[in-house]
Amino acid sequence: MSKNTKTKEAVSFEVSLKRLEEIVDTLEAGNAPLDESIKLYEEGMTLAKSCMMQLNEAKLKLKKIQRATGGAIEENDLEL
């Protein structure tokens, strides 16, 4: 379960940056009306902020894979 959430977050840096790039391109093209531009600007700022926060608050997680006696693959937290 937690794996799926993780994978979603994984996409989010990539997706956020991609969207941010789109916004920058649109704004730089200068064709959007001002209120639209401000809307994009707000969205871009929110994305940038959330990326920064995600990275600044992130803590490296360590996991360890083991084969159980039955051969099943187990994943546990790893303490070093």
Partner 1 sequence: MQDENFSLFDRQVNVPIEDKILKVKDLTRMAKEILEQSFPSVIVEGEISNFKRHMPSGHLYFTLKDDEAQIRVVMWRSDAVRLKFGISDGMKVLVKGRVSLYEPRGDFQLYAANITPAGQGALQLAFEQLKKKLEEEGLFSEEHKKPIPVFPRRIGVVTSLEGAAVRDIISIINRRFPAVELVIYPVKVQGEGAAEEIARAIDDFNRGPIVDVLIVGRGGGSLEDLWAFNEEIVARSIFNSNVPVISAVGHQVDFTIADFVADVRAATPSAAAELVVPDRSEFLEGLQTSIGKMSKAVERATDQLTLELDKLMHHYALRQPVSLVEQKLQFVDDLSRRVQTSAEHFLDSNDQKIKSIHSHLNALSPNGILRRGYAFVESSGEVVTSVMKVEIGQSASIHLHDGILDTQITGKHEQKH
Report the site for partner 1 in 18-47 (rule: CB under 8 A). Answer: 20-21, 23-24, 27-28, 30, 32, 34-35, 37-38, 40-42, 44-46
Residues β-bridged to residue 77: 63
The CA distance from 76 to 74, in Å, is: 7
The CA distance from 39 to 23, in Å, is: 10
Q: Strand, helix or coil at 73?
A: strand
Q: Are 51 and 13 in contact (CB under 8 A)?
A: yes
- Binder among 58, 68, 70, 79 for partner 1 (CB under 8 A): 58
The answer to the question of residue 9 lying near partner 1 (CB under 8 A) is: yes
Q: Which residues bind partner 1 (CB under 8 A)?
A: 3, 6-7, 9-10, 13-14, 17, 20-21, 23-24, 27-28, 30, 32, 34-35, 37-38, 40-42, 44-46, 48-49, 51-52, 54-55, 58-67, 73, 75, 78, 80
